């Protein structure tokens, strides 16, 4: 066993010892923070945060298993967090202590927490949960329990935001016009759907067509070995977060993918980075500060942009 493995096990053991008998805080600072957080939940949230919460809810009832990372057999607190963000294309490290440094710190702590933010407890962190608003979180507490919704029982040591907040997304610079902004030809499969979604979300119809061709070859019944489904090859967790109830329905799939590509373009400021994030996940683009050095992703981006150029 390596030193890293030993360290991770020690942190997990500390987590369980601390969680078997948690002691809720009762000070006025925590009460006021919780009240502020509850009020904030009614005034706004983030689209990304909603996707995180929606994905986390599908694991409610999964039994707690120390060291668990597979919902089929059980999850621990950091395994749950890692799994949820992986469903949405983000790569987080394994332990609560490591996850406590992911993303960015939320100024003001719990009072300014938004759904989807990570709440960590202890220093180094021995427990972590996903904030859902209203002073509540989803977590995997300790042996003998299941993944559940519970009140935030004490002041978090850290509040970390992985997804971009609404203000950042709204004020992101608008990308320059792309030569692929032309309409797709009427002979293109699903041309009507691509054009309608393009008009609705202000993304190039040629981008939607190119992604569909690269992802599934315009096959609305396609299922990848990894489990991506439908015309736009949406993973089940991603589809759920986008409100797509049936990814095999071309209309729903195109609408969801168009919204996702719009948000990724606004976030990263370019079509090429949005396409890379669609393929490899936003976390990979953030990690490498650009198109990830994965041969598959780099070829994917080249193919999609080339198809857009050809269509124009």
Per-residue pLDDT tens over the stretch 85-109 = 887 778 899 999 999 999 899 999 9
Per-residue pLDDT, averaged over 264-284, amounts to: 89
Quick: pLDDT tens for 204-222.
Answer: 999 999 999 999 999 999 9
What the chain holds in terms of domains, given with CATH numbers, is: 3-164 (3.90.1720.10), 172-311 (1.10.530.10)
Residue 65 CA to residue 83 CA, distance in Å, equals: 14
Reading the block at residue 109, the tokens are 């702590």
Per-residue pLDDT, averaged over 108-123, amounts to: 93
pLDDT band for position 167 (cuts 50, 70, 90): very low
Determine whether 215 is an active site residue. yes
The mean of the pLDDT values for the chain is 81
For position 90, what pLDDT does the model report? 82
Q: Which residues of 290-299 are buried (b: 16+ CB within 10 A; e: fewer)?
A: ebbeeeebee
Stronger pLDDT, 101 or 52, i.e. the higher one:
101
CB neighbours (10 Å) of residue 4?
Answer: 9
Stronger pLDDT, 40 or 279, i.e. the higher one:
279
Of 105, 150, 154, 215, which one is the catalytic site residue?
215
CB within 8 Å of 302: residues ≥ 6 apart: none
Quick: pLDDT tens for 16-39.
Answer: 444 333 434 444 444 444 444 444
pTM > 0.75: no
pLDDT band for position 255 (cuts 50, 70, 90): very high
For position 147, what pLDDT does the model report? 95
For position 40, what pLDDT does the model report? 41
pLDDT band for position 270 (cuts 50, 70, 90): confident
Q: Of 180-189, 196-205, 208-217, 234-243, where does mean pLDDT reach its minimum? A: 180-189
In the numeric block, the tokens 């992985």 are attached to: 162
């Amino acid at each position: 066993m390596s030193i890293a493995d030993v360290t991770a096990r020690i942190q997990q053991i500390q987590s369980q010892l601390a969680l078997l008998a948690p002691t809720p805080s009762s000070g006025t600072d925590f009460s006021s923070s919780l009240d502020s957080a509850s009020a904030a939940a009614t005034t706004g949230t983030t689209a990304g945060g909603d996707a995180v919460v929606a994905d986390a809810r599908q694991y409610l009832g999964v039994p707690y298993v120390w060291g668990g990372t597979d919902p089929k057999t059980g999850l621990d607190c950091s395994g749950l967090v890692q799994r949820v963000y992986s469903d949405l294309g983000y790569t987080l490290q394994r332990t609560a202590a490591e996850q406590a440094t992911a993303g960015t710190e939320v100024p003001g702590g719990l009072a300014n927490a938004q759904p989807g933010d990570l709440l960590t407890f202890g220093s180094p962190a021995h427990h972590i949960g996903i904030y859902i608003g209203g002073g509540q979180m989803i977590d995997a507490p300790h042996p003998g329990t299941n993944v559940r919704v519970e009140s935030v029982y004490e002041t978090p040591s850290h509040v970390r935001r992985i997804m971009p907040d609404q203000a950042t997304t709204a004020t992101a610079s608008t990308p320059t016009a792309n030569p692929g902004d032309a309409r797709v030809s009427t002979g293109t499969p699903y041309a009507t759907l691509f054009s309608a979604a393009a008009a609705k979300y202000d993304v190039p119809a040629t981008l939607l067509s190119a992604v569909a061709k690269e992802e599934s070859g315009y096959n609305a019944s396609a299922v990848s070995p990894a489990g991506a489904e439908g015309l736009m090859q949406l993973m089940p967790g991603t589809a759920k977060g986008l409100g797509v109830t049936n990814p095999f329905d071309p209309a729903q799939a195109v609408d969801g993918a168009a919204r996702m590509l719009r948000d990724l373009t606004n976030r990263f400021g370019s079509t090429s980075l949005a396409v890379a994030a669609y393929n490899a996940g936003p976390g990979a683009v953030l990690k490498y500060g650009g198109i990830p050095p994965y041969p598959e992703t780099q070829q994917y981006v080249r193919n999609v942009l080339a198809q857009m150029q050809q269509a124009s």
